[in-house]
Amino acid sequence: MAKSRRANAVLFGFDFQVNAAIVLMLENMQELDSLRLEGKEDIELKLLDGQEILAQAKAVEKSSSDFTHVRENLKKALKSLSDGARECKAKELILITNSPNPLNDDNTRSIFFGNAHRDFSSLPESAKALINGYLKEVEAPLDTTKFKIQILPFETDDDRERYKVVNSAVDEFVGSLRLSIPGLGPEILKIWQTDVFRNGTRKKEEIRLNKKDIVWPILVVATDVERCDEEFMEVFDDAKKT
């Protein structure tokens, strides 16, 4: 039974990591060059200007009620991101989690409501003190001006509930392409989840998803239904150039 729970926790954690990568990818699509899972960091986004966004993905199965290990997750994320930032030109350093109380502090819990994005500078002094306290234990601590905590609601075994924020992000992206194809968002999300998972489980560092890999499924689906508009083709052409 305990082994089964651990296995489920691992699967849940990786599912969260994949979907967190998709959300971060969509938020940075215009600047994106490539995406890597399971590298030195949980999620690595390389941008066209050579900068990188590094993220630690920390999932909690019962995120709305279990805050036992969230500070431990924060501490580990700060250490890993500090190490990663020394090896690249980091633009952002992100702890992305599904916990609505990532500091286990009732006084700061309200600021992490929903799919919050909180830069270090926007945090209450008590939260800054907690983070700085952990960073004092790191040999070469990260630059807090680049650090932020991002919340991705992600809980339950009901796919509609678990993926609701991810689905919304995909629908918004598809909408920006002005493609009026019924069901395109869910279909693209399913393809992305499968492709990201397949690539992310490979251990060779050189294997990653570039922008063409990410955009290509949309072109395939749109072509299948013969609904490819000029604006979308321009987006795809831009992707091919990167």
Q: How far is CA 19 from the centre of its chain?
A: 6
What's the angle, vertex CA 110, arms to CA 109 and CA 116, rounded to 5?
95
What's the angle, vertex CA 117, arms to CA 84 and CA 131, rounded to 5?
55
What pLDDT, on the 0 to 100 scale, is given for residue 177? Answer: 82
What pLDDT, on the 0 to 100 scale, is given for residue 148? Answer: 98
Looking at the structure, tell me whether residues 97 and 215 fall in a common domain: no
Looking at the structure, tell me whether residues 223 and 140 fall in a common domain: no
What pLDDT, on the 0 to 100 scale, is given for residue 205? Answer: 46
Looking at the structure, tell me whether residues 147 and 169 fall in a common domain: no
Three-class SS state of 195 = helix
Looking at the structure, tell me whether residues 49 and 125 fall in a common domain: yes
Looking at the structure, tell me whether residues 51 and 81 fall in a common domain: yes
Looking at the structure, tell me whether residues 18 and 135 fall in a common domain: yes
What pLDDT, on the 0 to 100 scale, is given for residue 151? Answer: 98
114 with 151: CB under 8 angstroms? yes
Looking at the structure, tell me whether residues 135 and 179 fall in a common domain: no
CB within 8 A of 20, min separation 6: which ones? 42, 43, 55, 57, 96, 152, 154
Q: Domain residues for 114?
A: 2-151
Q: In the chain, which residues have pLDDT < 50?
A: 1, 200, 203-206, 225-227, 240
Q: Look at residues 117, 151, 185 and tell me which one is the last residue of a structural domain.
A: 151
What pLDDT, on the 0 to 100 scale, is given for residue 189? Answer: 92
Q: What is the DSSP letter of 29?
A: G
Q: Look at residues 151, 185, 200 and tell me which one is the last residue of a structural domain.
A: 151
Q: Look at residues 151, 167, 191 and tell me which one is the last residue of a structural domain.
A: 151
Looking at the structure, tell me whether residues 144 and 187 fall in a common domain: no
Task: Report the number of distinct structural domains present in the chain.
Answer: 2
What pLDDT, on the 0 to 100 scale, is given for residue 241? Answer: 56
